[in-house]
Amino acid sequence: MFKAQDIRLMSVRKKYGVTTLEAERILKGVTTLFTSEQTAKFHSLGDVNFDGYIDATDLELIKASYGWKGTPGENPADINADGVVDIFDASICGRNQGKDIWSYFGVSKPVSRKGLILILCPFIASTGVVLLLR
Protein backbone atom coordinates (compact mmCIF):
# COMPACT_ATOMS: atom_id res chain seq x y z
CA MET A 1 0.00 0.00 0.00
CA PHE A 2 1.41 3.32 -1.12
CA LYS A 3 0.78 6.59 0.62
CA ALA A 4 -1.42 9.15 -1.12
CA GLN A 5 1.51 11.43 -1.92
CA ASP A 6 3.48 8.53 -3.45
CA ILE A 7 0.56 7.66 -5.73
CA ARG A 8 0.24 11.30 -6.79
CA LEU A 9 3.94 11.57 -7.57
CA MET A 10 4.10 8.26 -9.42
CA SER A 11 1.11 8.99 -11.62
CA VAL A 12 2.26 12.52 -12.45
CA ARG A 13 5.75 11.18 -13.26
CA LYS A 14 4.23 8.58 -15.56
CA LYS A 15 1.81 10.98 -17.21
CA TYR A 16 4.30 13.74 -18.00
CA GLY A 17 7.44 11.60 -18.15
CA VAL A 18 9.20 13.76 -15.58
CA THR A 19 11.42 13.25 -12.56
CA THR A 20 10.08 13.06 -9.02
CA LEU A 21 11.28 16.60 -8.38
CA GLU A 22 9.44 17.91 -11.44
CA ALA A 23 6.33 15.94 -10.47
CA GLU A 24 6.43 17.65 -7.08
CA ARG A 25 6.51 21.01 -8.85
CA ILE A 26 3.52 20.08 -11.01
CA LEU A 27 1.52 19.12 -7.96
CA LYS A 28 2.62 22.31 -6.22
CA GLY A 29 1.39 24.31 -9.22
CA VAL A 30 -2.12 23.12 -8.40
CA THR A 31 -1.86 23.34 -4.63
CA THR A 32 -0.53 26.91 -4.64
CA LEU A 33 -3.36 28.17 -6.89
CA PHE A 34 -6.21 26.46 -5.09
CA THR A 35 -7.18 26.00 -1.45
CA SER A 36 -7.11 22.55 0.13
CA GLU A 37 -10.93 22.65 0.18
CA GLN A 38 -10.97 23.28 -3.56
CA THR A 39 -8.50 20.51 -4.34
CA ALA A 40 -10.44 18.16 -2.02
CA LYS A 41 -13.69 19.04 -3.81
CA PHE A 42 -12.11 18.46 -7.21
CA HIS A 43 -10.58 15.21 -5.96
CA SER A 44 -14.07 14.03 -4.95
CA LEU A 45 -15.14 14.46 -8.60
CA GLY A 46 -12.45 12.02 -9.74
CA ASP A 47 -9.05 13.72 -9.74
CA VAL A 48 -7.34 10.78 -8.05
CA ASN A 49 -3.77 12.07 -8.50
CA PHE A 50 -4.54 15.75 -7.73
CA ASP A 51 -2.95 17.03 -10.94
CA GLY A 52 -5.91 19.26 -11.77
CA TYR A 53 -7.28 17.10 -14.57
CA ILE A 54 -9.86 14.34 -14.51
CA ASP A 55 -8.74 12.00 -17.25
CA ALA A 56 -7.77 8.45 -18.22
CA THR A 57 -4.86 8.48 -15.74
CA ASP A 58 -7.31 8.83 -12.86
CA LEU A 59 -9.44 5.98 -14.18
CA GLU A 60 -6.30 3.84 -14.47
CA LEU A 61 -5.46 4.56 -10.83
CA ILE A 62 -8.96 3.52 -9.76
CA LYS A 63 -8.64 0.37 -11.85
CA ALA A 64 -5.26 -0.39 -10.24
CA SER A 65 -6.79 -0.07 -6.76
CA TYR A 66 -10.07 -1.76 -7.66
CA GLY A 67 -11.36 -3.89 -4.79
CA TRP A 68 -9.26 -2.09 -2.18
CA LYS A 69 -10.83 -1.85 1.28
CA GLY A 70 -9.55 0.21 4.15
CA THR A 71 -9.85 3.41 6.11
CA PRO A 72 -11.89 6.03 4.23
CA GLY A 73 -9.61 8.78 2.97
CA GLU A 74 -6.50 6.60 3.04
CA ASN A 75 -6.50 5.62 -0.63
CA PRO A 76 -6.89 8.53 -3.08
CA ALA A 77 -8.54 6.16 -5.56
CA ASP A 78 -11.42 5.90 -3.08
CA ILE A 79 -12.81 9.21 -4.28
CA ASN A 80 -16.16 9.00 -2.52
CA ALA A 81 -14.33 8.11 0.71
CA ASP A 82 -16.47 5.13 1.70
CA GLY A 83 -13.55 2.82 2.38
CA VAL A 84 -13.88 0.78 -0.81
CA VAL A 85 -12.56 1.31 -4.34
CA ASP A 86 -15.34 0.07 -6.56
CA ILE A 87 -17.69 0.83 -9.43
CA PHE A 88 -19.04 3.93 -7.67
CA ASP A 89 -15.61 5.59 -7.68
CA ALA A 90 -15.10 4.59 -11.30
CA SER A 91 -18.48 5.96 -12.35
CA ILE A 92 -17.92 9.32 -10.60
CA CYS A 93 -14.56 9.62 -12.30
CA GLY A 94 -16.02 8.40 -15.58
CA ARG A 95 -18.77 10.98 -15.78
CA ASN A 96 -16.40 13.84 -14.94
CA GLN A 97 -13.80 12.97 -17.57
CA GLY A 98 -12.38 16.01 -19.32
CA LYS A 99 -12.92 18.43 -16.43
CA ASP A 100 -10.02 20.52 -15.19
CA ILE A 101 -9.68 22.41 -11.93
CA TRP A 102 -9.11 25.80 -13.58
CA SER A 103 -12.36 25.71 -15.55
CA TYR A 104 -14.25 24.18 -12.66
CA PHE A 105 -13.42 27.04 -10.31
CA GLY A 106 -13.49 29.70 -13.03
CA VAL A 107 -9.77 30.43 -12.86
CA SER A 108 -8.76 31.37 -16.38
CA LYS A 109 -5.46 30.47 -17.90
CA PRO A 110 -3.94 33.90 -18.56
CA VAL A 111 -4.11 35.63 -21.96
CA SER A 112 -1.96 38.72 -22.43
CA ARG A 113 -3.35 42.18 -23.28
CA LYS A 114 -1.40 42.24 -26.52
CA GLY A 115 -3.32 39.28 -27.83
CA LEU A 116 -0.46 36.87 -27.42
CA ILE A 117 -1.42 33.60 -25.92
CA LEU A 118 0.23 32.76 -22.66
CA ILE A 119 0.36 29.08 -22.10
CA LEU A 120 0.52 28.47 -18.41
CA CYS A 121 0.77 24.83 -17.52
CA PRO A 122 1.03 23.71 -13.89
CA PHE A 123 4.68 22.82 -14.26
CA ILE A 124 5.58 26.21 -15.71
CA ALA A 125 3.42 27.98 -13.16
CA SER A 126 5.39 26.40 -10.35
CA THR A 127 8.71 27.53 -11.81
CA GLY A 128 7.45 31.06 -12.43
CA VAL A 129 8.34 30.89 -16.14
CA VAL A 130 5.73 31.66 -18.80
CA LEU A 131 5.94 30.55 -22.41
CA LEU A 132 5.09 33.25 -24.90
CA LEU A 133 3.75 31.96 -28.21
CA ARG A 134 3.29 34.21 -31.23
Instruction: Pick from 23, 27, 43, 58 the residue near Ca ion by CB under 5 A.
Output: 58
| Cα–Cα dist 8/20, whole Å | 10
The CA-atom distances, in angstroms, between 67 and each of 3, 7, 24, 90 are 17, 17, 28, 11
- Minimum distance, C-beta of residue 10 to Ca ion, in the bound complex (Å): 12
Q: Which span sits near Ca ion by CB under 5 A: 43-51, 90-98, 103-111, 117-125?
A: 43-51
**CA 23 – CA 54 distance, rounded (Å):** 17
For the bound state, the minimum distance from the C-beta of residue 21 to Ca ion, rounded and expressed in Å, comes to 19
Any contact of residue 100 with Ca ion (CB under 5 A)? Answer: no
**Could you say which of 7, 29, 33, 47 contacts Ca ion (CB under 5 A)?**
47
Q: 31 near 37, Cβ under 8 Å? A: no
Tell me how far apart the alpha carbons of residues 52 and 45 are, in angstroms, rounded to a whole number.
Answer: 11
Can you tell me which of 2, 35, 82, 109 binds Ca ion, judged by CB under 5 A? 82
CA 65 to chain centre: 17
Among residues 89, 101, 120, 123, which is the contact residue for Ca ion, using CB under 5 A?
Answer: 89
Contact positions vs Ca ion (CB under 5 A): 47, 49, 51, 53, 58, 78, 80, 82, 84, 89
